[in-house]
Structure 1
């Protein structure tokens, strides 16, 4: 009997060596929030939010000495039973190949490189149902039907990574698009990122070309746009201010020359109703957005305090609108996996004369596994 068990154990070890098991991972992030003027019409709401909770599997397996397969499949989890993501809806997922010391090719649906260029020290309220920068500025898209390439972090200069993805349009035209999006590279997202932990410096420049996105101030979605984003952060621990990190982001977005700019002149919603905007909204439409943030990890304690200010101004011939948000947060980190946190933030619309501010405050808990 012992020999049988030993043989089974040896066989299972051999199987594990040949086929690496996938990693199960996830994040549950639940918060209790009070939202004053939730609908921008003066009505308040108490919310239990799931904040982009998720579960997934990922892994890689060696095929030859120089090539391996990589994969990921991730689903949204509505911990509160509702939320911005439909329960078990598709998040990041891909299948690809990893070439030793060169880079990786991935095909599927996953965050644009424009989006991921904003790291943890730019979008400090990332995933928050109310406060994520996707609520104020263009560029926070997860793109379907893409093939992407990412260089190895040591291919060019240590810490420097170049990434580019091409989207197959598959006729995913929006209400503001007249061009068939049915070819390789109907949309392109790219970034050049540098991360040097020894220097405490991280920076990136990213671009979108013909990528559909939202202009929040005008409630417009699916606008084919060209955009550039520049981000950066610096850890002042390297110069004697231990625990302090400053981060910033700037971006410019405008509809692609064709067809979005022309088709926007009609400015109708999905039901064919006019949006009530100036008819010239399709002329010279652009959005300029920026943010600054500070994060301070209090030395020898589990406490972190952080603050952020962000602004997005949308302009067109005939008008402009501005969205502003400022907020502060406090984290209590039990360990690398678990944190409790509190937030207080306010958004402001400059084009509304009444009920122009929405205030969010609450407490939450996040657990990563």
Structure 2
């Protein structure tokens, strides 16, 4: 009898725990706040700034040996109190992953945005490439597909539904090669294209619907991580074009990382805009770093901008 009871308890425990073991839920986030001296053309002012701080929930649930559900719900958190909206939606989707690759439905970064990998080393700060270029889009009403990797190559497609009677479909496509973190491959490369995707640059120079081509490559040379990105964008209605280039470099010495980045935007109507950023990170732990940076934008037809910042970033 005792053996039967023990066997029954073990069976009940196993039955109760198998679904939980098959599913995973990770809570993650990042707090990033800086104090900075900013000059956007009308004089200097100080500010405490939350730099895309976020919290999210993600996970998988195995349905069979070769099929699983994947999901994510991520929110930007206003940690400096400037906005009336404490939370703002970031990537939020659900989908399936299997031998066919991965299909996601919801709000997500376009393939062109994802193609940048880790080359934009001042992403989410003032030197982010979205300041001068279009293409850094996180769009709603999307269907995203990524193929399995074949000898390091992977294909990606984002379809954006028109969502209304008079709307237009749009597409974002990319081919990826290698590991963007440069841990599993010696270099990373991607070529991406947006077709009729709505967007704007943060500096306000351009907005509308764009056809955009972007090529990205990064590698390590003598311990220095180097990145190169080139872009051509054309606003469909006006035909106005821009050719851009961005180069980045970073070098780590013990707990210190030295970083630098240049970005240019050459508009064919004669408007040249460029920005340069230099910074230093100091790692306190795997989860935490202190940083300083200086960003300067030279804008032909707009006010020049300068930012000097010091901040802390914590990941969990």
Q: For 1:344, what is the secondary structure of its paired residue?
A: strand
The correspondence for 1:190, drawn from 173, 188, 206, is 173
- What is the CA-CA distance between 1:14 and the residue it aligns to? 3.5
Aligned-pair CA distance for 1:66: 1.4
TM-score w.r.t. structure 1 length?
Answer: 0.78
Report whether the alignment pairs 1:93 with 2:92: yes
> Which aligned pairs between 1:279-298 and structure 2 lie closer than 5 A?
282=238, 284-298=239-253
Secondary structure at the aligned position of 2:285 is classed as coil
Matches of 2:190 and 2:285 in 1, distance apart?
A: 29
Secondary structure of 2:113's counterpart equals: helix
1:302 aligns with 255
Relative distance call for 1:285 and 1:217 in structure 2 (3 A) is: farther
- Find the counterpart in structure 2 of residue 231 from structure 1: 216
1:94-173 residue pairs with structure 2 within 5 A? 94-100=93-99, 102-120=100-118, 122-128=119-125, 130-153=126-149, 156-157=150-151, 159-171=152-164
Question: 1:13 matched to which residue of 2?
Answer: 17
- CA deviation profile, 1:239-287 (whole Å, cap 9, x unmatched): xx2x31110100001023xxxx1xxxxxxxxxxxxxxxxxxxx3x3111
Any idea what the Cα deviations from partners look like across 1:144-167, whole Å, max 9, x if unmatched?
1010110123xx22x221100111
2:3 equivalent in structure 1: none
1:323 is aligned to 273
Aligned equivalents of 2:244 and 2:108: distance in 1?
A: 23
RMSD across aligned positions (CA): 2.1
Structure 1 position 218, deviation (Å): 5.3
The Cα of 1:190 is off from its aligned counterpart by 1.0
Whichever structure has more strand as a proportion of its residues is 2
Q: TM-score of the superposition, structure 2-length normalised?
A: 0.90
| Structure 2 gap ranges (5+) | 1-5
Query: How many Å separate the matches in 2 of 1:218 and 1:136?
Result: 8
What CA deviation, in whole Å up to 9, does each residue of 1:19-53 have, x standing for no partner?
Answer: x13111111111111012x2x2x221111111101
> In the alignment, is the contact (CA less than 8 A) between 1:70 and 1:96 conserved in 2?
yes
SS of structure 2 residue aligned to 1:89: strand
Hey, what does 2:292 align to over in structure 1? Answer: 342
The alignment covers a number of residue pairs equal to: 305
In structure 2, the residue matched to 1:204 is 190
In 1, the alpha carbon distance for the partners of 2:142 and 2:240 equals: 27
Give the whole-Å Cα distance in 2 for the aligned partners of 1:88 and 1:126. 20
